[in-house]
Chains A and B, each alone.
Chain A
Amino acid sequence: MPPRFSLPLKALAVLTLVLLIDQGVGFVSRNVIQGLDDKLSQIGSIQQALLHKRSDVLILGASCAKYHYNSQILADSLQMTVENTGVGGMKAEYSDLVLQSYLERCTPRCVVIDVYGQLDSGEGRLPRVRPFYGVNQPVTDYYDSETDWQQRLKLQSALYRYNGTLDLLLRHALNAPNRSHGFAEMAGELSMKDTVVVHHFLPDPAKERHLRHVVQLCRDHSVRLVFVLSPRREHNVDQEAWVSAFCREHNLQLINELHVPDYYTEERLFHDESHLNGRGAALFSKRVARKLRIEN
């Protein structure tokens, strides 16, 4: 007669098995992620920005940053090394985390932040930094201080921490190597004629706090901080006004390209309502570089 195991004993056995699987997955994932080569995939960009990259000029922001700031053009113009760490869907917390990580490794001479959308509520793609809990100090501190005990408990599990990474790693494997210092070009042209203007802007308090922290960090490390508003076919005037007021309050340079006619007359410079295509990005990068040089 085979022995009958009681339920608590079976539960303990299952728990032990899960812990073993957890440790195994954690070990493999950590090694894979830390050993990722430099590619333009999402997880590649995040890993590079949080763990490896150094440069004189640091570009922060979301998809607008990634697709607008041509690192090569900026580098040639400014005669400095430029890294573009823009990741689509990221907001002010991510910019804060990247800057903190950067400052652990080097002191950039200039930080450029593409600020539109950084203050919107919502997590965006921030959960993608979860795999770096316990690996990258700013990320670890962020989760320890800004999330509840339930989230911290869940983060102790490797399976939870690396949730969703298999998909990202597969996409990374299929991606092209990063030869453009984080910049990606968008192909295609938008045939939309009119610019759409919207109102009502309420900055998310947590995001605002992180943005102020970015300002504070730059001040403490004597790093020049520049805010940029990229051209868009659909933009929020109240957000524009808020950003201008913020820059005045903190005595920051603001490069406002929203109303520059060069982008809008020749409509073939946009990929969609909020992003320039490759040619648009080239024009934009030249103009931004020039404005950065002038104010220097």
Chain B
Amino acid sequence: MVVNSINFWLFFAAVVVPYFLCFRGQRGQNLWLLLASYVFYGWADWKILPLLVGVTAVFYGLGLAIARNNESNPRRASQLTTLGVLLGLGILFYFKYFGFFVQEFTALFASLGVPCGERTLNIVMPIGISFFTFKLMGYVIEVHRQTAVPTRDAVQFSLFIAFFPTILSGPIDRAATFLPQLQRRRRYNESDVSEGLKRVLWGLFLKTCIADVIAPWTTVVFGNYAHHNATTILVAAPLYLIQLYTDFCGFSEMAIGVARIMGLRVVENFQRPFFAKNVAEYWRRWHMSLTTWITDYVFMPLNVAFRDWGLWGLYAATLLNLIAIGVWHGANWTYFWFGVYHGLLLCIVTGLDKRRKRFEKAHHLKDNELYAWSRRLLTFLCFTFGSVLFQAASMGDFLGTIARLGQGFGPLYSEEFSSLVIYALPATCLMFLREWVAEYRRDIHFMHSPNIIVRLVSIALLISFIIYAGQLEGNSFIYFQF
């Protein structure tokens, strides 16, 4: 059940009405929500449900054991934490990467003249696995660092892991911010429901009116890159980045909105990444729940471990950090090189940081709008190039696509392009306008206007626009495969 389907909303209505009306305390509410979450996950992938439940139980026990040992036996606590992390990584490795490694090794041996049986492992990746294993590993690390209190309440813990709005595609929550919310009964709160619905609406708008309208065209162009000229590829690349953003941000908004309706605050995932002035800032605004996870649990430890190697230690930590982010997306060399590419860009940004600050001070560029926008454009272009790599099915396809740029310009591939211009373009402008307002002022217009008539009319117009101009025969969400 995808969030943008009627089935999901029927399910949600069936869940949320008893959620508010039937329970006197948090225990009943949490149990109800947990059951709903397991039903939801089972609907998506019932064969993996036992794994989810089992792994949740194991980590529940680990959390309590680590806390017990933290003061009395720190070495034991460290060992248990390491065990938890290895278990999480092991599960992830098996389902996501094992098949790829076997494939690469047999290819390697074959090229060295050693024949290996052609075995293609058909390991089906459980949906959402990258997200809930990260929640589990984060939990034990936080408990070990004593930045989170482990819970004795198995229902609360299981709900934290399996929470249905976020289990399939994030955002990745932290125990420290999510668990406390489960300790109180959530009452029906009009402002939460109203805000939640607005977020769902905005997410739906981003996905159906921008991402799904652009998708058919970019899919055809990149899927068939050998037939397209440089003009088409150069137009498709930034469009693809916008598509990727609105697809994922739209989905995150819907997840956050659904949670908000139920009175639960989930971490944000995006903060207007196209307004970032350099690559580092972009990563702090894009898929924030993943980036902060990897920063806190991969980058920081590496950085600390390499601290005696000065700037080179920092570069190494940065590179490994971005490779981890890249490879999280899947078992493909394209994701690895995507990580390397961004790692190198970040090293450049870090290395030039002091020089840039001096330059800006000397030329009084701090409040210069033109300067800020040129930096944003440059950042956008860096990410556009990265996204061509990101979407390629293989390194061969990526290089082939780039090679097309040298084959000469020509007319733009205009098949189905008019619908992009007529629907996605105004929608993108609207999105950009709203983000610009939020970046420079506060988000107090249209849906959040103090004037009730403006609010209601804006919402009605947005709903109408979605139904009239949105690509409603939905395309599947890109991040479902992660």
Which A residues are within 8 Å of any B CB, using their own CB? 2, 5-7, 10, 13-14, 17-18, 21-22, 25, 123, 127, 150, 157, 159-160, 162-164, 166-167, 170-171
Contact = CB atoms under 8 A, between A and B. Distances in A.
B459 A14 contact: yes
Interface residues of B, number: 22
A145 to B, nearest CB: 20
B451 to A, nearest CB: 10
B473 A127 contact: yes
B468 A159 contact: yes
Q: Which of A2, A6, A7, A123 has the most CB of B within 10 A?
A: A7
Interface stretch (B46-54, B81-89, B115-123, B416-424): B416-424
B418 A5 contact: no
Contacts of A25: 464, 468
Most chain B CB neighbours (cut-off 10 Å) among A5, A13, A14, A150: A14
21 contacts: A2-B452, A6-B190, A7-B193, A10-B194, A10-B456, A14-B456, A14-B463, A17-B456, A17-B457, A17-B460, A18-B460, A18-B463, A21-B460, A25-B468, A127-B473, A157-B467, A163-B470, A164-B419, A167-B418, A167-B422, A170-B418
B403 interface: no
A22 B469 CA distance: 13
Contacts of B193: 7
Contacts of A7: 190, 193-194
B464 A21 contact: yes
Contacts of A22: 464
Residue with the highest number of chain A CB atoms closer than 10 Å, among B452, B460, B472 = B460
A37 to B, nearest CB: 19
Interface string B175-195: 000000000000000100110
A14 B198 CA distance: 12
Nearest to A169: B422
B362 interface: no
Given A2-B452, A7-B193, A17-B460, 4 more contacts: A5-B452, A18-B460, A127-B473, A163-B470
Interface in B268-283: none
Contacts, number: 55
B399 interface: no
A60 B117 CA distance: 52
A123 B470 CA distance: 18
Nearest to B465: A159
A160 B18 CA distance: 31
Contacts of A21: 460-461, 464
Contacts of B456: 10, 13-14, 17
A111 B470 CA distance: 37
Nearest to A149: B6
Nearest to A5: B452
Contacts of A159: 464, 467-468
Interface of B: 6, 190, 193-194, 418-419, 422-423, 452, 456-457, 459-461, 463-464, 467-470, 472-473
Nearest to B471: A164
B464 A18 contact: yes
Please name the 6 residue pairs, one residue from A and one from B, whose CB atoms are nearest each other, closest first: A17-B460, A159-B467, A167-B419, A159-B468, A21-B464, A167-B422
Contacts of A13: 456
Nearest to B5: A150
Contacts of B468: 25, 159-160, 162-163, 166
A260 to B, nearest CB: 28
A22 B468 CA distance: 9
A157 B464 CA distance: 10
Contacts of A170: 418, 422
A171 B472 CA distance: 21
B204 to A, nearest CB: 14
Contacts of B463: 14, 18
A163 B6 contact: no
A160 B422 contact: no
Nearest to A22: B464
Given A7-B193, A21-B461, A150-B6, A166 B422 contact: yes
A163 B190 contact: no
Most A Cβ at <10 Å: residue of B193, B423, B457, B464? B464
Nearest to A21: B464
Contacts of A164: 419, 469
Nearest to A6: B190
Contacts of A171: 418
B263 to A, nearest CB: 14
Contacts of A18: 460, 463-464
Contacts of B190: 6-7
Contact of B472 (A2, A10, A14, A163): A163
A135 B284 CA distance: 53
Residue of B194, B423, B456, B468 ringed by the most chain A CB atoms within 10 A: B468
Nearest to A20: B460
A166 B457 CA distance: 22
Contacts of B418: 167, 170-171
Contacts of A10: 194, 452, 456
Contacts of B461: 21
A21 B466 CA distance: 12
Contacts of A5: 452
A17 B152 CA distance: 49
B229 to A, nearest CB: 16
A17 B457 CA distance: 7
A14 B464 CA distance: 10
Contacts of B470: 163
